[in-house]
Amino acid sequence: MKFEGDSSNYDVLTRAIKVIPSGLEGMTCEVGLRKGMGTKYIIDALSIKDVPYKVHVAIDPYGHIEYASHEGYAVRLDYTNNMRDNTIGLCHIYANQNKVNFIFLNLTDTRFFEKYADGIPIYEEKEIVLNEYIFVHFDGPHQVDLLKVEFLWFNKRMKSGATIVFDDVVNYYDHSKIDALVKQTGWVLLESTGCKASYQKI
C-alpha cells in the first residue's frame, strides 16, 4: 500500500509549515485524512522543523458514515473502516521512520472538540498535556457553518505565527465567507493555489 490522495497542491502544506517560527510550541493537526497523502506531507515538513514538539494529530471517524462533502450535501463515500485500518498502519510506520509522534483519533470533529477541549496528553518520560496547535489542515466537512465551528475552536488554541490550510476551497463551498472570518480574526492569506488556501496568524 502507498499513500494516496483525492486532492492536489499538497506542496501548500509544506510551505505553510515551513514558515512557522522556530521554537513555537504546539502540535500539528489535520481534520480528515482519507488515505493519508496530506498526512505524509505534514509529517515530512514537521520532521525537519525546529519546534519543541513533533506531534501530529489526525482526526477522522471513517466508518462509512455520512460526510458533508459539498455545501448542502451529505453523502456516503468510500471512507470505510477497512480504509482506516490500511491507512493508519502506514501512517504510524511512516511517522516512526521520521521521528514524529503520530496520534490518530477515530472521532468526528464534534466528538474531538468535546473530549479534547483541555488538551491532548503525550508521554515522554512524564505526562505532558498539549493544548496549542502550530498548524491545522482543514480537510473534513466542506460546509461553511461546520468550517466556522472548526476554525473558531482551533483559533483559540493557536498563537501568532501558527498556520492553517483549507482544502477544496473551489466549488465545494463558498470559501469567501471563511476567508472573511479568518482575516477578521487576525490572520493573513499566505497563498491560494488551485484547491488550497493557507493563512498565518499575526
When pLDDT is averaged across residues 63-68 and rounded to a whole number, the result is: 78
Q: Is the pLDDT of residue 1 over 70?
A: no
- 87-116 pLDDT, tens digit per residue, is 999 999 999 999 999 999 999 999 999 999
Q: What is the residue type of 115?
A: K
Burial of 128 (C-beta count, 10 Å sphere; 0-12/13-18/19+): middle
Which pLDDT score is estimated for 156? 98
Categorize the per-residue pLDDT at 68 as very low, low, confident or very high, splitting at 50, 70 and 90: low
Which pLDDT score is estimated for 76? 74
- Phi/psi region, residue 107 (left: phi>0; alpha: psi -120 to 50; beta: rest), is beta
When pLDDT is averaged across residues 12-22 and rounded to a whole number, the result is: 98
Q: How many residues does the chain have?
A: 202
Q: Is the pLDDT of residue 78 over 90?
A: no
When pLDDT is averaged across residues 72-88 and rounded to a whole number, the result is: 83
When pLDDT is averaged across residues 177-181 and rounded to a whole number, the result is: 98
Q: Quick one: cell of 176? A: 469567501
Categorize the per-residue pLDDT at 73 as very low, low, confident or very high, splitting at 50, 70 and 90: low
Which pLDDT score is estimated for 15? 98
Domains along the chain with CATH numbers: 11-201 (3.40.50.150)
Q: Is the pLDDT of residue 188 over 80?
A: yes
Among the ranges given (37-46, 58-67, 94-103, 116-125), the one the predictor scored with the smallest mean pLDDT: 58-67
Q: Is the pLDDT of residue 4 over 90?
A: no
Which residue, chain included where needed, has cell 482543514? Answer: 138
Categorize the per-residue pLDDT at 70 as very low, low, confident or very high, splitting at 50, 70 and 90: confident
Q: Is the pTM of this model over 0.85?
A: yes
- Give me the sign of the Cα torsion angle 76, 81, 85, 86: negative
Please report, rounded to a whole number, the percentage of residues in the chain having pLDDT higher than 90: 82
Which pLDDT score is estimated for 143? 93
